[in-house]
């Protein structure tokens, strides 16, 4: 049972969290202006790196806050967690 550090509540067991997919995929400013292809890219396409990956997590059974985490997809190790209003920590290989 892995521990995930909620930026607010501290380390908690992973069962308290829900996964939210890739982070930093912003909702387009003007979806209507996008081509079908560009819109489909936003809706359906996500990175799948081997290594550090910025993801969204929700502390669902705790404070209900969404936050970002950088997880190494090879080891599942969480390298960083940061709040939605914090900048993504610099890290090579991050998507």
Partner 1 sequence: MTANFRLPVGGRVNRDEALRFSLDGRPMLGYRGDTLASALLANGVHQVATSIKYGRPRGIMAAGVEDASALVQIEEPFPEPMMSATTVELYDGLIARGLPGQGRLADRPDPARYDAKHVHCDVVVVGAGPAGLVAALTSARSGARVVLVDDQNQAGGALLGSDEYFDDLGSPAAWVHEVLAELRATPGVLVLERTTAFGAYDDGFLLALQRRTDHLGAAAPKDVARQRIWRIRAKQTVIATGAHERPVVFADNDRPGIMLAGAARTYLHRYGVLPGRRIVVFTTNDSAYTAAIELAETGVDVPMLLDARAVPPEGLVAECAARGIEVRAGHAVTGTEGREHITDVHIAPLAGTGHPDTIMCDTLLVSGGWNPVVHLFSQLRGALRYAPELGAFVPGEELPDVQVVGSAAGALDLASCVRQGGEAGRAASEAAGFTRPAPVPLPTSDARVAEAAAMVLWQVPEGAEPTADTRFVDLQRDATVSDVLRATGAGLRSLEHIKRYTTIGTAHDQGKTSGMIAAGIVAEALGVKIAEQRPTTFRPPYTSVPFAALAGRDRGELHDPVRITAMHSWHVAQGALFEDVGQWKRPWYYPRPGEDMADAVLRECRAARESVALMDGSTLGKIDVQGQDSGEFLDMLYTNMMSNLKVGRIRYGVMCGVDGMVIDDGTVIRLAEDRFLVTTTTGNAAKILEWMEEWLQTEWPHLRVFLTSVTEHWATVPLVGPRSRDVLASLAPELDVSNEAFGFMSWRDTVLDVTGGVAARVCRISFSGELAYEINVNAWHGRALWEALMAAGEPYGITPYGTETMHVLRAEKGYPIIGQDTDGTVTPQDLGMSWAVSKKKPDFIGKRSFARSENNRPDRKQLVGLLPANPATVLPEGAQIIESAHLPEPPVRMLGHVTSSYASAALDRGFALAVVRSGRDRIGETLYVPVADDVVPVTVTDSVLFDKEGTRRDG
Partner 2 sequence: MTAETTSGSSPLGAWTARLAELAPAVRVTERPFLTQLTLRVRDAQAQAAIGPALGVELPSTPCSFTRGTGPHGELEVLWLGPDEYLVLARPGVQQSLEDAIRAALGDAAGAVVDVSAQRTTLALSGPRVRDVLAHGCAIDLHPSAAPTGTCVQTLLAQAGIVLLVSDAGRDEFTLLVRSSFASYLAAWLIDASVEYRMVPA
User: Which residues bind to partner 1, rule: CB under 8 A?
Assistant: 1-3, 11, 18, 20, 26-27, 30-32, 34, 36, 39-40, 42-44, 56, 58, 60, 64-66, 75-76, 84-85
SS3 readout for 20-50: EEECCCCCCCCHHHCCHHHHHHHHHCCCCCC
Q: Which one, of 9, 27, 2, 4, lies nearest residue 65 by Cα?
A: 9
Query: Considering only residues 2, 3, 8, 84, which one is a binding residue for Zn ion as defined by CB under 5 A?
Result: 8
Please identify, using beta-carbon distances, which residue of 27 and 87 lies nearer to partner 1.
Answer: 27
Binding site partner of 20, from partner 1, Zn ion, partner 2, none, Cβ cut-off 5-8 A by kind: partner 1
């Amino acid at each position: 049972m892995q521990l995930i550090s909620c930026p607010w509540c501290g380390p908690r067991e992973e069962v308290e969290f829900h996964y939210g997919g890739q982070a930093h995929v912003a909702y387009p400013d003007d979806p209507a202006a996008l081509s079908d292809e560009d819109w489909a890219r936003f809706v359906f396409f996500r990175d799948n790196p081997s290594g550090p990956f910025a993801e969204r997590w929700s502390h669902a059974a705790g404070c209900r806050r969404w936050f970002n985490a950088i997880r190494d997809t090879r080891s599942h190790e969480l390298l960083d967690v940061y709040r939605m209003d914090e900048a993504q920590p610099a890290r090579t290989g991050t998507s």
